[in-house]
Amino acid sequence: MEYLPLFHNLRGQRVLVVGGGEIALRKSRLVADTGAVLRVVAPQIDSQLAALVAASGGEPLLRGYGESDLDGCVLAIAATDDEPLNAQVSQDARARGVPVNVVDSPALCSVIFPAIVDRSPLLVAVSSGGDAPVLARLIRAKLETWIPAAYGQLAGLAKRFRAQVKDRFPDLQQRRVFWEDVFQGPIAERMLAGQGSEAERLLQARLDGETGEVKGEVYLVGAGPGDPDLLTFRALRLMQQADVVLYDRLVAPAIVELCRRDAERIYVGKQRADHAVPQEQLNQQLVTLAKQGKRVLRLKGGDPFIFGRGGEEIEELAAHGIPFQVVPGITAASGCAAYAGIPLTHRDYAQSVRFVTGHLKDGSTDLPWPDLVAPGQTLVFYMGLVGLPSICEQLVLHGRSSDTPAALIQQGTTHNQRVFTGTLGNLPKLVAEHEVHAPTLVIVGEVVTLREKLAWFEGAQAGL
């Protein structure tokens, strides 16, 4: 190990920065966040850097560097494009025993600035010893996606209760087991869900020895339209910690595979006229599993609150006092339209967009057709494959031109995506000539004409 990682407390300490440009500003921002007092030396100092120095209670020195500038400093940073000057700062600092960092010159450094994941008071630092800083930043980016922003609040919670826990559990092993349970259980989940007061209440109850009914939790998570890369960070985290996963037909297999390996998986169907599990039974199943103390993931295609019956499911949970979280997903309309190169709104074509279910009950056409033919809007029909001929016919009967552009997207955002474009007059015939299967999405409006110029996904796929 070439470098020993250390975390320095710089609050109230003076730090010398030699240089007044962009690089000096970037380093100074990082140092100022620790509460350090900046001393910046340069013939010219960037206005933002000067303001930062003033805010830190430091001093901007508009002149060249001198060895005495190191007086009283606990850290020196050389951030100029003058190599001899940088070398001089390094030599002077080392002679005084002051840690020194020279930007982009590892050989002149006694300390290295790492790539930092900041979840204060929790910090994660990654360093390549100055050999591959870009690689260190890439690793940091991966960590950023894995560590929720609320981990800092979780660490703050532990800090507030640390003394109580130490008094309650004098044995180190007992404390370790206690904190592991806190950080991996309902208390941590409450904090990560933004329910800090509830997390504190649960932690205090644990310390007071209170027990009660073992109750799990339900995560209602939107899986998006199909591409796993469109999942949110929170969705991935909950998918990895759930004990049971209930998923429907619209959730791509690649997304289901991202769930915890040892979680129980239950398929609940949900396709036209064939629900493997009736909705009422599914609602009750969520309640039953949660009352068994399990963390239950209800994984739904698209967004749970847009034609996903998510509201019905959490109504049942709320009625039984079951804790739940809702994680939005990218709904099929925005995801599929984007991957098809069809903007849903455009100043020249559509100033509004309307989402409509095309799953017509009992084959009827009980939609507000007069409202759907208003000019200047884009229509998006979910589950419109079977009802496509009726949808197009009714729109024309109620005033839309048969020449209105229209598109049908099959399995949007996935490698199997297919897009059929035409008009209200010919799209049903065009689709009938091909073997098309759900899930599909129908878009109606002038914005469809932009696909010819804006389609990007098929080109990206062809380049693979």
The CATH number that applies at residue 345 is: 3.30.950.10
- Amino acid in position 234: R
Is residue 413 located within the same domain as residue 382?
yes
Structure tokens at 142: 């991966």
22 marked ligand binding residue: yes
Contact indicator for 198, 215 with CB cutoff of 8 Å = no
Instruction: Round to whole Å and give the CA distance between 2 and 107.
Output: 12
The DSSP result for 259-307, as a single string, is S-TTSEEEE---BTTB-SS-HHHHHHHHHHHHHTT-EEEEEESB-TTSS
Task: Assess whether pLDDT exceeds 70 at residue 362.
Answer: no
**Shared-domain flag, residues 34 and 109:** yes
To the question of whether residue 23 is assigned a binding role by annotation, the answer is: yes
Q: Which domain holds residue 89?
A: 14-113
Q: Which of 80, 113, 146 is the last residue of a domain?
A: 113
Q: Is 217 annotated as a binding residue?
A: no
CATH number at residue 47: 3.40.50.720
Task: Tell me the per-residue pLDDT of 218-258, one tens digit each, with 9 for 90 and over.
Answer: 999 999 999 999 999 889 989 988 999 999 988 999 999 99
Question: Does 302 belong to an annotated binding site?
Answer: yes
CB 55 within 8 A of CB 33: no
Given 271, 301, 327, the domain boundary residue is 327
Whole-number pLDDT of residue 210? 66
Rg (CA), the chain: 30
Is 306 one of the annotated binding-site residues? yes
CA–CA gap between residue 241 and residue 261 (Å, rounded)? 10
Q: Is 163 annotated as a binding residue?
A: no
Q: What is the pLDDT of residue 216?
A: 83
Pair (349, 438) in one structural domain: yes
What per-residue confidence (pLDDT) applies to 275?
52
Q: Is 293 annotated as belonging to a binding site?
A: no
- Residue in 270, 291, 361, 453 annotated catalytic: 270
Active site residue 429: no
How far apart CA 250 and CA 246 sit, in angstroms, is: 12
Q: Are residues 427 and 343 in the same domain?
A: yes
Do residues 340 and 369 share a domain? yes
Does the annotation place 335 within a ligand binding site? no
Residue 224 belongs to some domain of the structure: yes
Identified catalytic residue from 27, 248, 294, 300: 248
**Domain for residue 457, yes or no?**
yes
Domain boundary among 298, 327, 356: 327
Residues 138-194: pLDDT tens digits? Answer: 999 989 888 888 889 999 999 999 999 999 988 888 888 789 888 878 888 889 888
Q: Please check if 239 is assigned to a binding site.
A: no
Q: Note whether 203 and 237 are same-domain residues.
A: no
Question: Are residues 457 and 351 located together in one domain of the fold?
Answer: yes
Region at 259 (left for phi over 0; alpha for psi -120 to 50; beta for the rest)? beta
Do 415 and 352 lie in a common domain? yes
Closest CA to 451 of 391, 378, 369: 378
Domain assignment of residue 425, yes or no: yes
244 and 177 share a domain?
Answer: no
The model's pLDDT over 19-66, given as tens digits with 9 standing for 90+, comes to 999 999 999 999 999 999 999 999 999 999 999 999 999 999 999 999
Q: pLDDT-based confidence at 363, cuts 50/70/90?
A: low
CA 44 – CA 455 distance, rounded (Å): 49
- Give per-residue pLDDT as tens, 88-130: 999 999 999 999 999 999 999 999 999 999 998 899 999 998 8
Number of domains within the chain: 4
Reply yes or no on whether 104 is catalytic. no
- Do 77 and 150 reside in the same domain of the chain? no
